[in-house]
Amino acid sequence: MEHAAERLIFINGELIPASKASVSVFDHGFLYGDGIFEGIRVYSGRVFKLEEHLERLYDSAKALLLQIPYTPTELREAVRYTVRENGLQDAYIRLVISRGPGDLGLDPTRCPHPTVIIIVDTIRLYPESLYQSGMELASVSIRRPGTDVLNPAVKSLNYLNSVLAKIEANLRGLSEVLILNQFGQVVEGTGDNVFLVKGGTLYTPPTYSGILNGITRQVVLDLARTEGILSQEVPITLHDVYTADECFLTGTAAEVIGVVSCDGRQIGTGKVGLVTRQIRDAFFTYARSEGLPVYTEDTLRI
């Protein structure tokens, strides 16, 4: 199977070479961050947890009164089609639905035609050496908005809050940081969910604390049960992070990565922990054996 010479981007039903792919400057996704997205993985020619990602996408769209111009089945097949046409066995998919072109005002009713984009490419957030040695974290001054201000269940295009936190990370020379909510509880990284291990039990913040209920997060909780690891969804403080036996982050792009220190405090032994490695191994075993096959003929015409 040959790889495409240039990535092909799905835009509103057409595949366009990446160098020529574009959206209108009047698109409200560009002007106001008015839109939603999903990041999805392909492992060994299978799209991982596609149905769960699509369900979350359509939930986000409903919350924003954003009408996706494809049925879930049609969009599922569009994803498979785009992956297949790019010839990738392992890939990262960015599925974007914006409000579409309108005028310079805020009114979403002036945007009659949403923009649908599917990007298929490769991604690596961190070098492999960091997965082996573990990452250092720090807490930052940026706070996640409360759920009464901006509900994280809507995976919107507006990531300014995370961008500001990432700027702090860059200024400190760190790959990732921890963001707190208005109550001083640890909620997330800039794009990752947080897990701790203490006394053999897995802990992660609950959804009501202001986190995105990540697809990888849910997979890890399910795998923990399969592996016989107890887990609890409870509010977490920085003290809990400092005194944990282990810490790791999860996300579609980040997958599972261990943490060895936070704010200068060594976590556990200062090395990637045994439970973290167990979960990471279980995740990859599962991810490479599950998912919707891409390279089959039972597809719909888009």
Average of per-residue pLDDT across 107-131: 95
Please check whether residues 165 and 231 belong to one and the same domain: yes
Please check whether residues 161 and 269 belong to one and the same domain: yes
The pLDDT score that the predictor gives to residue 4 is 47
Q: Decide which of 77, 103, 123 is a domain's last residue.
A: 123
Please check whether residues 24 and 170 belong to one and the same domain: no
* pTM, full prediction: 0.94
The one-letter amino acid code at 245 reads D
Q: How many domains does the chain have?
A: 2
Length of the chain: 302
pLDDT band at 5 (very low <50, low <70, confident <90, very high): confident
Three-state DSSP at 15 gives strand
Q: Decide which of 82, 99, 123 is a domain's last residue.
A: 123
pLDDT band at 298 (very low <50, low <70, confident <90, very high): low
- Which residues carry out catalysis? 155
DSSP secondary structure code for residue 101 in this structure: B
Place of tokens 């089609």: 81
Q: What is the pLDDT of residues 248-271, one digit of tens each?
A: 999 999 999 999 999 999 999 999
Are β-strands 231-233 and 265-266 bridged in parallel, bridged antiparallel, or unpaired? unpaired
Please check whether residues 98 and 188 belong to one and the same domain: no
Say if residue 37's pLDDT is above 90.
Answer: yes
DSSP string, 160-223: HHHHHHHHHHHHTT-S--EEE-TTS-EEE-SS-EEEEEETTEEEE--GGGT----HHHHHHHHH
Whole-number Å distance between alpha carbons of 112 and 289: 41
Please check whether residues 116 and 208 belong to one and the same domain: no
Say if residue 125's pLDDT is above 90.
Answer: no
Residue 62: HSE in the Cβ half-sphere, 13 Å Cα cutoff: 7
Within a domain: 118: yes
Is residue 98 a contact partner of residue 29, using CB atoms and an 8 Å limit? yes
Say if residue 102's pLDDT is above 80.
Answer: yes
Within a domain: 141: yes
Please check whether residues 108 and 217 belong to one and the same domain: no
Whole-number Å distance between alpha carbons of 115 and 39: 17
Please check whether residues 117 and 132 belong to one and the same domain: no
Please check whether residues 170 and 265 belong to one and the same domain: yes
Within a domain: 283: yes
Please check whether residues 36 and 142 belong to one and the same domain: no
Whole-number Å distance between alpha carbons of 178 and 164: 12
CATH number at residue 72: 3.30.470.10
Within a domain: 1: no
Q: Decide which of 103, 123, 143 is a domain's last residue.
A: 123
Please check whether residues 102 and 116 belong to one and the same domain: yes
Please check whether residues 202 and 184 belong to one and the same domain: yes
Average of per-residue pLDDT across 269-297: 95
Within a domain: 297: no
Please check whether residues 105 and 146 belong to one and the same domain: no
Say if residue 115's pLDDT is above 80.
Answer: yes
CATH number at residue 254: 3.20.10.10
In DSSP terms, 293 is beta-bridged to 46
Within a domain: 293: no
Q: Which domain holds residue 37?
A: 8-123
Whole-number Å distance between alpha carbons of 266 and 39: 31
Whole-number Å distance between alpha carbons of 53 and 95: 10
DSSP secondary structure code for residue 112 in this structure: -
Within a domain: 44: yes
Say if residue 243's pLDDT is above 90.
Answer: yes
Within a domain: 3: no
Phi, psi of 201 (to 5 degrees): -105, 140
